[in-house]
Amino acid sequence: MRPRRPSVLAKQVLGLYTALIVYASWYPFSGWRSLGLSPLAYLADPLPQYLTVFDVVTNVLGYMPFGALAMLAVYPRWRGAAAVALAFGLGVGLSGTMEAVQTYLPTRVASNLDLAANALGALLGAALIAPATGALLDRGLLRRMRLLWFRRDSAALVCLAALWPFATMFPSPRLFGLGDWPRALWLHADSTMQDPLLAWFPAAWHVQTWPSHLLAALPDDAWEALIATLMLFAAGALASLPMRSRAPRVRLLLVLVALTVFVKIGATFLQSVAGLVFDWATPGALAGLAGGTLVMLLALRLPRRWRAALAAAALVIALLLVNLLPVNPYFDVTLADWRQGRYLHFNGLAHWLAWIWPYAALGWLAFSAERAWLRRRASAVAPPG
């Protein structure tokens, strides 16, 4: 049986992932120049003298989701081997364009090896997802489970929840201390900008002493446990909103927590120069991880609207703490150990995701609350009968 229409969600996620590839390939988008070379000259270059397995594997893995998403996006018009060939061609075209434009970026090097690895990744991703495409979108157990477990029209929320583990990759002063761009912006501002803003507050409030007084109220491990608990609970509560009551919500949330820990460990292993895989696992972080998991599971007993309200409150409180508490001075050691170099684009993408995720979640919750309020208001003023 053919589906009534192609998957809109697959097309949207493919577009988003393509944008992420463009960002990762051309970051930091500065210093454009021409060396008089053809943008396709890299195709005839000899293979690099020095290469690592990590480089090749990273490029292959980076394009595997693209190939899989391309397969899902073109279904049912394209199927089987033809769809795999199309996804492979799209991967080659995208990667070839990214490498060609890198000819004009001083911080990047166009590489035919990267093109080959990316093309292989797109082919593998398409080939692996091809047997399951119909089961996911058209028929079979996977589609029935998706419709049975999740509410309709919840694609945006599911995608937002799925991004949570990856938003935790970049190191933060405290575990899950996301959304600290206001503090970063404040610290980069000079006194001519800070003083006028502080002048808006009454002098009796002693705004400038708030961070030090707040830090002295509890040990640093306690603050880290509280922030991690609030953020993890908010992510879990948000992820539970699109789930139906018949779904195995406890198991799905435990999978989300396990995936978060796995991504954190994997990112630390790949990016840490010294290989400090569990450097983030302080006593406060572990307590917050356990506390957030427990609270999110207990909150499943609450109605959906209460979970949404508590998730919003947890996000607001956590963001206030993240931006007001002073940074632990030992955090500079962690950042110094974090691998930069040619993976600057990866770090930039991870950092932006960590900055944006909490505010995107708050934006969705606010939009959802407004929509529910408008529905109730419309039903209240509707004439009877």
Secondary structure class of 272 (helix, strand, coil): strand
Of 149, 170, 196, the one marking the end of a domain is 149
Name the residue range of residue 371's domain: 158-381
DSSP-assigned states of every residue in 223-240: HHHHHHHHHHHHHHHHHH
The pLDDT of residue 19: 86
Quick one: 140 and 194 in the same domain? no
The total number of structural domains in the chain stands at 2
Residues 55 and 117 in one domain: yes
Q: Are 94 and 124 in the same domain?
A: yes
Handedness of CA 341, 345, 351, 355 (dihedral sign): positive
Regions of the chain with pLDDT less than 70: 1-5, 48-52, 54, 138-143, 190-191, 194-195, 197-199, 204-210, 212-213, 215, 270-276, 328-348, 382-385
Residue 103 DSSP class:
G
Beta bridge partners of 243: 150
pTM of the model: 0.73
- 269 and 359 assigned to the same domain: yes
Same domain, 61 and 175: no
264-284 per-position pLDDT tens digit? 888 777 666 555 677 778 899
For residues 113 and 186, state if they share a domain: no
Residue 63 lies in a domain: yes
CA quadruple 324, 329, 330, 335: dihedral, nearest 10: 80
Instruction: State the number of CA atoms in the 13 A half-sphere of 118 facing the CB.
Output: 21
Same domain membership, residue 169 and residue 140: no
142 and 285 inside one domain: no
What is the pLDDT, as a whole number, of residue 341? 46
Pair 14, 120 in one domain: yes
Q: Are residues 141 and 260 in the same domain?
A: no
* Residue 246 within any structural domain of the chain: yes
With beta carbons less than 8 A apart as the criterion, state whether 67 and 88 touch.
yes
Q: Is 51 left (phi over 0), alpha (psi -120 to 50) or beta?
A: beta
Q: Is residue 219 part of a domain?
A: yes
User: 173 and 103, same structural domain?
Assistant: no
* In a shared domain, residues 281 and 357: yes
